[in-house]
Amino acid sequence: MSRKKVKTGFIKYLNDGEFKLLLDGLERWDYNFRCMFAIAYYVGLRRVEICRIKTADFKDDFRILRVKVAKAGKVIDRIVPEKLRLELISYWFCQKFFSTNEYFFQPSITSGSKKPHIQPSSLNWKFHISRKKAGLEDIYYIRKNGSPLYRVSFHTLRHSFLERFYKASGNDLVITSQTIGHTKTSTTVRYVASGKRKEREKLIVNMIC
């Protein structure tokens, strides 16, 4: 018999301190995964979009990243923050001597993988290890089959970018939706609604206490 879903009240967003803990959970030689985590957090891409990045997708000395949106299929240009740009340049300076194909994030030689690029499953596995080391395994809710859904997943990095961008844009729903690559603004609304609800709750609690 399946267990009824129980929400715990956690909001699926990360702050900068928690993101740093995730990065600290990586090994010092995991520079490729460090860059992949950062692209999700600072640019808001999905796992599959990050894994499929090609070196030629970076334009203007890594200032622009051309992305084929996974669900919509359209191509959009995304701005790469300067902090991330410098990390990507540093990574590529070392990686280019070992590059064997057109993809930016290729499996290491020691992995034995014959895939042309790091797979989403490998990225997710590395994230799970980092999350455990960071102590960020609080549960968001329980699925109907009884298995836990953790508050912090790789997709949470994308949610976090969306929330920060939405606030910085002056709560501009349209530009946020276009930037993140949603085909409908109603999808974006679902992401920002929980954050707005929590802010309103905080405001009301402070008013009555």
Domain ranges of the chain: 12-208
pLDDT at 199: 60
Give 186's pLDDT tier (boundaries 50, 70, 90): confident
**Nearest CA-CA partner of 45 in 56, 34, 36, 57:** 36
The residue with greater pLDDT, 149 or 202, is 149
pLDDT cut 90: percent of the chain above it = 50
For domain 12-208, the CATH architecture is Orthogonal Bundle (1.10)
What pairing do the DSSP bridges indicate for beta strands 6-7 and 139-142? antiparallel
pLDDT of residue 5: 44
The answer to whether the beta carbons of residues 36 and 50 sit under 8 Å apart is yes
Burial degree of 116 (CB within 10 A; 0-12, 13-18, 19+): middle
Q: Is the pLDDT of residue 154 over 60?
A: yes
pTM of the model: 0.84
Residue 193: predicted pLDDT: 66
Q: 68-114 pLDDT, tens per residue?
A: 887 777 888 999 999 999 999 999 999 988 899 999 999 987 777 88
Q: Does the pLDDT value for residue 181 go beyond 80?
A: no
Give the pLDDT band (50/70/90) at residue 50: very high
Average of per-residue pLDDT across 162-171: 86
User: For position 143, what pLDDT does the model report?
Assistant: 79
Out of 53-67, 106-120, 184-198, the most confident range is 53-67
Confidence (pLDDT) at 6? 45
pLDDT at 205 > cutoff 90: no
Q: Which one has a higher pLDDT value, 58 or 169?
A: 58
Residue-wise pLDDT for 103-128, tens only, equals 999 998 777 788 999 999 999 999 99
